[in-house]
Structure 1
Amino acid sequence: MKIRTRLTLLFTIIFALITIGGSVVIYITSANYREDQFYDRLEGNAINTARLLIKVNEIDSNLLKIISQNTVALIKQQILIFDNDNQRIYNSNESIRIPVDTALLHKIRRQNQVKYSIGETEIIGMNFTNKQDKYVIVASAFDKYGYNKLRNLQYTLIIVSFTAILITLIAGWLFSRHVLKPIASMISKVSDISASKLHERLPEGNGTDEIALLAITFNKMLARLESAFQMQRNFISYASHELRTPLTVITAQLDVALQKPRDVEYYRKIAESVLEDIQQLSVLSNGFLNLANASLDKSGIRFEILRVDELLWQAREEILKINHHYKINIDYKEFPEQESALQASCNDQLLKVAFSNIMDNACKYSADKEVNIGIDILPKEVKISFKDAGIGIPKKDQEKIFEPFYRANNVKSIKGHGLGLSLTHRIIKLHDGQLEIESAENKGTVITINLPSLA
């Protein structure tokens, strides 16, 4: 069932229940009011008749009947009066027979007043006292006009309720169409958005209601998708370019070597050159793999409690095994008393990759091939700073330095792929940390990492 139909039916059902409930309350209230008014009139007529018969000596039962016949009375009205011995002493209408037995008379004497009905005839019995004598009056009549008004009210309520429900159904259908029109428009526009049209956005309306908030949320999702698709396209483009270059060099060298017989020394040089290119391919492929791992959701990565400084030392050792001429200095500003101040929830492989990238960049782009690392303990944080005296990062490039494959203009002549800082930034974010860069061209760079500790 569509939302429009469901809203219309729900709105109509609620209104119908309210309308029917209100009509029932009105009818019951009116019926009770009619009954009370009729009994009051019947009781008044009965008491007046008893007073004339019992208290006015000049009026006997025959004269009272004549008076009653010439007085405006209720339809089918009959008034019966019984004395102390339950003997009937007056009957205003002999043509009507209302069954009155001794048990009823005793009940009236006990309860003082009894109201009941037989069919549409309503009857009231009451006590009437005159000095020492106790009489019982039983009066009955038919409220023809009252019942006619009730029937008319009933028909009116049924017609009005049915008409109101029908109007509500139509109005609800039109109203739900109006309310859901932005959603229908949104569905139509979303259906037109494909992978090649992720730049398109939904209209956000007034920007405050729920539908506008839905459009805003969807547009944010489209922006993330567009960014992810663009990153994927750039990744494929850059990866293809970076892989093609060493492969082209390898292919060219081998083609030249196979064109004619060469001496052993030539083949050795070719093999060394090819080996160097293959090593570059290995570094590049490892960078791609690490970048893919760092792009995973945090829930898919194994974290454990480790000492951050130990991972720094391990990363240092791995860098120095490959680059013996690098100088990597690690200094504790103040060694903590508790080991937990240096512990953090982390993935050892990813965090070592992040540290290695920063150390390698600092040494590679510095004339003295040196980086100074400081470890500082802060409340609930471990602060690690990497300081070098290298060529620095131009200010215009600092905003894009974390994008994959992006390289600053002043390092184009130095071997690299532009993956290091992008990968490092993602790894630190996965560890709920912060990475900040302060750099000045030809003066050096300071990279600061803050990781949440267990202290």
Structure 2
Amino acid sequence: MRTAYKERIARRLTWVTALIILIVFVLIYLVASFTVVRNIDYELQLETDKHKDQIFLVNGEIRFLHMDEWEEMEHSQIQLNPIFIEIVDLEGKSKDRSPNLRENHLSFSPEKSLKNEAWTQKIGASEVRTRQIPLYNAGKHEGYLLLAKSFDDTRELLDNLRNVLLVFYPMILISLYLTMRYLAGKSIEPIQEIIEKTNQITQKNLNERVPEPELEDEIGQLTRSINDLLGRLEQAMKREKQFTSDASHELRTPLSVLRGTLEVLIRKPRTSGEYEQKIQTALGTIDRMSAMIDQLLALARVENAKNLVREELELITFLEEKADQISSEQKRKITFQSQVSLPIYITTNEKSLEMILDNLLHNAIKYSPEDSDIFLRVGKSGAFPYIEVADSGSGIAEAHLEQIFDPFFREKEALDQGIPGTGLGLAIVKKLAQESQIKLSVVSKKDVGSTFRLDFPSQS
């Protein structure tokens, strides 16, 4: 059974507060009990101090010091809460007791007198607080003086306090739970509004956003995070639609060329030279389609790749060999330059880095005049290794610098000049760089050239 979030909040807060209130109530009861018992013990101490030097046991007989004054003092006091007194010998046999004890006796406990402490005992149906002190005569221990004071009123007070706390405790918990539930419901109202709004947003209206509150609190942060997520989803959907549209367009064009070429071939008999020319055209179209499909598959593999295996790679040797390889394959001079003399070791995926460099170097060759220089540089900026691929070709217009990494984007000038390409190479480079945690940047000036830079994380 699912429980509403406001219910869970209310229960948790109520349980925590219930524990705190329980601790407070227990402390109140213990403090009250300690205070009233201490006051009674203090009064017993005063009575003990008053009587201990006035009563003696001499050879088992009770003697009073200044008997007349003692009786006069006792009879002159109005005792709303009387003191019970009993005198016993060393064996605990009663020698005398106050009339208010009637047939009852106070509890005799010699060890209590040694600890100088009071205790609670029952006398008939009543409860009293008792204290006991030894009686001496000429330094000789003759017996004990037992004094007690009624504990009934104190017990009634403590019981009433306990009952009040026990009655109020569940009432407070119920009120607290209802209050917490109401406040929790009011607190999550903005979240419910966010839920209702996000449930209304579908693929058809991804441009809509959740209204953002004015307060800079957690709800505001949640709303902005959801809106940022919707923005990213909207952009991803747009890129996907654009990618699908561009891919279908790019594939449709060579297919149309291939179909047109074949239709021309079957209209009437041709000479062997014409057949050869048309077949060459068809093969060229198929090659371009194959290259595009290979690039699309490569881009899909990059987007689906997870946890690329990274190994240690010595960068200078790797780049020098790559420059020689591309120079040999493309019949173009690529100048390798190292800005450091010591080896540079990085941890990366070698195949990903190789694909990045292949695309960047092929682009540099493709968009540069045959007699221009192409440079492959390596160096370190502090603890951060970097690679640069620089050319002195046609360059990129500043307005297009952000678009060149989008799939199928190609400048109109390149299309007009008939420079071959699919517009997927730099998209693959960007994806691979992101997967390998490499920072990719470009500096370019029209008709001057471009420099693509790869900055690696610190290897220390």
Q: Give secondary structure in 2 for the equivalent of 1:436.
A: strand
Residues 128 and 137 of structure 1 are in contact (CA less than 8 Å); yes or no, is this contact kept in structure 2? Answer: yes
Pair 1:2 & 2:4 matched = yes
1:246-293, Cα deviation, whole Å (9 max, x unpaired): 011111221232233333333222211110100010111111122223
Aligned to 1:361: 363
Pair 1:228 & 2:239 matched = no
Pair 1:444 & 2:445 matched = no
Aligned to 1:392: 395
Q: Give secondary structure in 1 for the equivalent of 2:451.
A: strand
In 2, Cα distance between equivalents of 1:452 and 1:367: 34
Residues 41 and 118 of structure 2 are in contact (CA less than 8 Å); yes or no, is this contact kept in structure 1? Answer: no
Pair 1:238 & 2:243 matched = no
Pair 1:211 & 2:214 matched = no
Kindly state the Cα deviation for residue 335 of structure 1 after the two structures are TM-superposed.
7.2
Alpha carbons of 1:14 and 1:382: their partners in 2 closer, same or farther (altered >3 Å)? closer
Aligned to 1:407: 410
1:316-372, Cα deviation, whole Å (9 max, x unpaired): 334x1xxx5xx3322335673x4x32x544444443333333333333333436442
Alpha carbons of 1:271 and 1:85: their partners in 2 closer, same or farther (altered >3 Å)? closer
Q: Give secondary structure in 2 for the equivalent of 1:400.
A: coil
Pair 1:98 & 2:119 matched = no
In 2, Cα distance between equivalents of 1:147 and 1:247: 103
Aligned to 2:84: 78
Number of aligned positions between the proteins:
440
Alpha carbons of 1:38 and 1:450: their partners in 2 closer, same or farther (altered >3 Å)? closer
Q: Equivalences for 1:329-344 in 2 at 5 Å?
A: 329-333=334-338, 336=341, 338=342, 340-341=343-344, 343-344=345-346
Kindly state the Cα deviation for residue 100 of structure 1 after the two structures are TM-superposed.
5.4
In 1, Cα distance between equivalents of 2:414 and 2:436: 29
Residues 114 and 125 of structure 1 are in contact (CA less than 8 Å); yes or no, is this contact kept in structure 2? Answer: yes
Q: Equivalences for 1:294-333 in 2 at 5 Å?
A: 294-297=302-305, 299-300=307-308, 305=313, 307-318=318-329, 320=330, 327-333=332-338
Alpha carbons of 1:58 and 1:3: their partners in 2 closer, same or farther (altered >3 Å)? same
Kindly state the Cα deviation for residue 396 of structure 1 after the two structures are TM-superposed.
1.9
**Stretch of structure 1 that moved more, 144-153 or 79-88:** 79-88
Q: Equivalences for 1:141-156 in 2 at 5 Å?
A: 141-156=149-164
Match of 1:422 among 423, 427, 437: 427
Pair 1:58 & 2:68 matched = yes
In 2, Cα distance between equivalents of 1:82 and 1:281: 121
Aligned to 2:121: 117
Kindly state the Cα deviation for residue 385 of structure 1 after the two structures are TM-superposed.
3.7
In 2, Cα distance between equivalents of 1:382 and 1:233: 37
Kindly state the Cα deviation for residue 207 of structure 1 after the two structures are TM-superposed.
6.2
Q: Give secondary structure in 2 for the equivalent of 1:446.
A: strand
Alpha carbons of 1:370 and 1:406: their partners in 2 closer, same or farther (altered >3 Å)? same
Alpha carbons of 1:191 and 1:417: their partners in 2 closer, same or farther (altered >3 Å)? same
Aligned to 1:126: 133
In 2, Cα distance between equivalents of 1:439 and 1:117: 100
Kindly state the Cα deviation for residue 237 of structure 1 after the two structures are TM-superposed.
0.7
Using structure 2 for the length normalisation, give the TM-score: 0.83
Residues 324 and 334 of structure 2 are in contact (CA less than 8 Å); yes or no, is this contact kept in structure 1? Answer: no
In 2, Cα distance between equivalents of 1:402 and 1:110: 95
In 2, Cα distance between equivalents of 1:263 and 1:388: 45
Alpha carbons of 1:111 and 1:234: their partners in 2 closer, same or farther (altered >3 Å)? closer
Residue identity opposite 1:403 in structure 2: D
In 2, Cα distance between equivalents of 1:84 and 1:284: 116
Residues 390 and 445 of structure 1 are in contact (CA less than 8 Å); yes or no, is this contact kept in structure 2? Answer: yes
Q: Give secondary structure in 1 for the equivalent of 2:64.
A: helix
In 2, Cα distance between equivalents of 1:423 and 1:292: 9
In 1, Cα distance between equivalents of 2:425 and 2:458: 24
Residues 207 and 213 of structure 1 are in contact (CA less than 8 Å); yes or no, is this contact kept in structure 2? Answer: no
Unaligned runs of 5+ in 1: none
Kindly state the Cα deviation for residue 169 of structure 1 after the two structures are TM-superposed.
1.0
Q: Give secondary structure in 2 for the equivalent of 1:58.
A: helix
1:203-222, Cα deviation, whole Å (9 max, x unpaired): 44346433333333333333
Q: Give secondary structure in 2 for the equivalent of 1:136.
A: strand
Q: Give secondary structure in 1 for the equivalent of 2:307.
A: helix
In 2, Cα distance between equivalents of 1:411 and 1:346: 33
Residues 46 and 79 of structure 1 are in contact (CA less than 8 Å); yes or no, is this contact kept in structure 2? Answer: no
Q: CA RMSD in A?
A: 3.3
Aligned to 2:41: 39
Alpha carbons of 1:330 and 1:346: their partners in 2 closer, same or farther (altered >3 Å)? farther
Match of 1:194 among 202, 211, 229: 202
Residues 108 and 136 of structure 1 are in contact (CA less than 8 Å); yes or no, is this contact kept in structure 2? Answer: no
Residues 290 and 350 of structure 1 are in contact (CA less than 8 Å); yes or no, is this contact kept in structure 2? Answer: no
Q: Give secondary structure in 2 for the equivalent of 1:412.
A: helix
Alpha carbons of 1:452 and 1:313: their partners in 2 closer, same or farther (altered >3 Å)? farther
Using structure 1 for the length normalisation, give the TM-score: 0.83
Q: Give secondary structure in 2 for the equivalent of 1:120.
A: strand
In 1, Cα distance between equivalents of 2:408 and 2:320: 29
Sequence identity, in percent?
A: 23
Residues 128 and 152 of structure 2 are in contact (CA less than 8 Å); yes or no, is this contact kept in structure 1? Answer: no
In 1, Cα distance between equivalents of 2:92 and 2:291: 122
Residue identity opposite 2:446 in structure 1: E
In 1, Cα distance between equivalents of 2:428 and 2:109: 104
Residues 198 and 226 of structure 1 are in contact (CA less than 8 Å); yes or no, is this contact kept in structure 2? Answer: yes
Unaligned runs of 5+ in 2: 56-62
Aligned to 1:157: 165
Q: Give secondary structure in 2 for the equivalent of 1:278.
A: helix
